Each structure stands twice: as C-alpha cells, then as structure tokens.
Amino acid sequence: MDSVKISVILCTRAASAHLEALIYSLAEQDFPAQEYEILIVDNSPDGAARGLAGKAVQAAPDRKIRYVHEPVPGKTRALNAGVKSAQGGIVAFLDDDVSLDSGWLAAMIQAFDDPETGGAGGKITPQWPGKAPGWFTPAVAGFTPVHDFGDKPLAYDAAGACPVGANMAFRKLAVEQAGLFDVNLGHCGAAKLGGEEWDLCRRVRRIGYKLMYQPQAGVKHHFTSEEALKSHWRGRAFTQGRVAAYILFKDDAPLLNRAKAEPEGTALHKNQPGKNLFYFQLKAAFAAGFACGLVFGLPNK
C-alpha cells in the first residue's frame, strides 16, 4: 500500500532560481519523507526544468521527487497532468514564485482532518523587490495574489471566497469528481487568464465539500518590478472580470439568473477592508471586463 499522503505539485515553464529554492524548501519540510512527494510539472515544450529536477533528486535522495513533462501549453493542462500523476490522496499546489518555511506542509494537511473538507488555502503575504508601492493597500489586495483572512482557521463561507492558486490544496478525489481544472482557463503564453481555482472551487462546493482557510500554511509571494505598476493590475482586473463572466455562464445559465450571478463574481473583491481611488479604478476595470466577457467570451489563447 502506497504511503504517500500528499503530493505537492509545482507547475513551471522555466527553471528559475525561485523554483530551485522552493524545491529545496519542500525537501526540508518537517514532515515524514515517505508520506509526501514533490511533482515538478514542466509545461515548457523542450523540458526546460528536467535538469533542475534531476539535480534536486540527487541533492535530496531521501525525498520523493518526480518529474512530469506536459508539453501542451497551458497552466491548467499542467495542473491536470500533476493531479493525474499524483500518488497522494491530497494534492497541493504552489506557484513557482513563492517561498515557505519548514512547517508549511504539516499545517496544510491539518485542514483535511475533517472528512468534509474538499479544499484548503493558506495565507499569502507580499514580498516586494523593494519598498511596497504606495498604491498597495488592503483595499486592492483582493485583486492580487495576496490572501489574508486573519490568523485563525475558518471556512470560506462568503460567496466567491476561495483559496488562491499560489497556495492551495484539495482532496484528489474531490478534484476528480469535480472534473479537473478547466483547460479554457489559466495562463497560456501571453493570455494571463487565471480563474481556474475559483472555477474548481465552485464545482467542489457543488458536490458537497467545504473549503477551509488555513493561515498557518502561509507562503510569501515574490512580486516582480512589473507587478509594482498600477497598469499591470488594471489589465489583470479587466481579465478577471472577463474570466468571471465565462465561469458564471459557461453552464448556459438562463438569462434571468445573470443578474443574480454577477454579484458573486464581484464578491471576490468585497471582503477586503478600506477603499481608495485605485480600488475603484480596479473595480471599474473588472466591471468592464465582465461586460466584455458577456459579449465576446474569453480571449484566444
């Protein structure tokens, strides 16, 4: 009988310094080595991370580190390849630009002590390349990968509230029952769509599971200099709105239900305290994207 309890899936398109550091952090977790595995899912056409995976195996021979190549571009295709290859009953996902401490894995798996828990998300705090930009406030954090509901575990009860893709985990069975990640969503080349975790969480909830916030399983997200620019997040908010329209109506919801569905999409950005001018600019960009999504659907990948 396989002893692996949790599979940590790292999807990447490049063998970056952040990814290398993250792999070694995972190899040093305060968790029994035989009870977890690390899956490096390489979504580059030429297997750019294969060498890094081999290096990691040599450096941590007592850890289960496996390499999976998914050459068809698209983050959700890579996520699904990781789920299909995973040996653990729980599948955890981390972006390749985060860092974590040695207690992350033990904290994340605790959220699944309750058999009704289908998914969990951890706190995500920002790590800027320099001083945090002046526009970054709690009001706008909901438009970024930053994720903070406090220091106590709780259920994601608010409409639209769910784990963030940079730091989340699910029962593998729940992901399979929900139909895996939607391959029309997620980053793919120049198309930075996202939204795949929100879509999956809606379907996991629909089949009867609950979602939990586990703050002790926290990570730091390393922002780039581009992500310090307001223009970057205006564009992302527009795309988020477009994705929200697709997710809410892809099941051919009747027209009369659309007015009820739209508030669920915008609820993603209502649970953060405080407001400022940039917050309203992002809200406007989201609304414009939502309208664009209703008319034109998703952009081509």
pLDDT for 257 beyond 50: no
The mean of the pLDDT values for the chain is 89
- For residues 301 and 299, give the distance between their C-alpha atoms in angstroms, rounded to a whole number: 6
- Strands 90-94, 6-12: pairing is parallel
List pLDDT tens digits, range 209-225: 999 999 999 999 999 99
Residue-level pLDDT at 258: 42
Structural contact between residues 78 and 41, judged by C-beta atoms closer than 8 angstroms: yes
Task: Let me know if 106 is exposed, middle or buried by CB neighbors in 10 A (0-12, 13-18, 19+).
Answer: middle
State whether residue 46 is helix, strand or coil: coil
* Prediction pTM value: 0.91
Q: Where does the pLDDT of residue 159 fall: very low under 50, low under 70, confident under 90, or very high at 90 and above?
A: low
Higher pLDDT, 64 or 14: 64
CATH class for the domain made up of 6-228: alpha beta
Alpha-carbon span 243 to 185, nearest angstrom: 8
The two three-digit tokens of residue 85, written as one number: 């290859």
Element (H, E) at 138: none
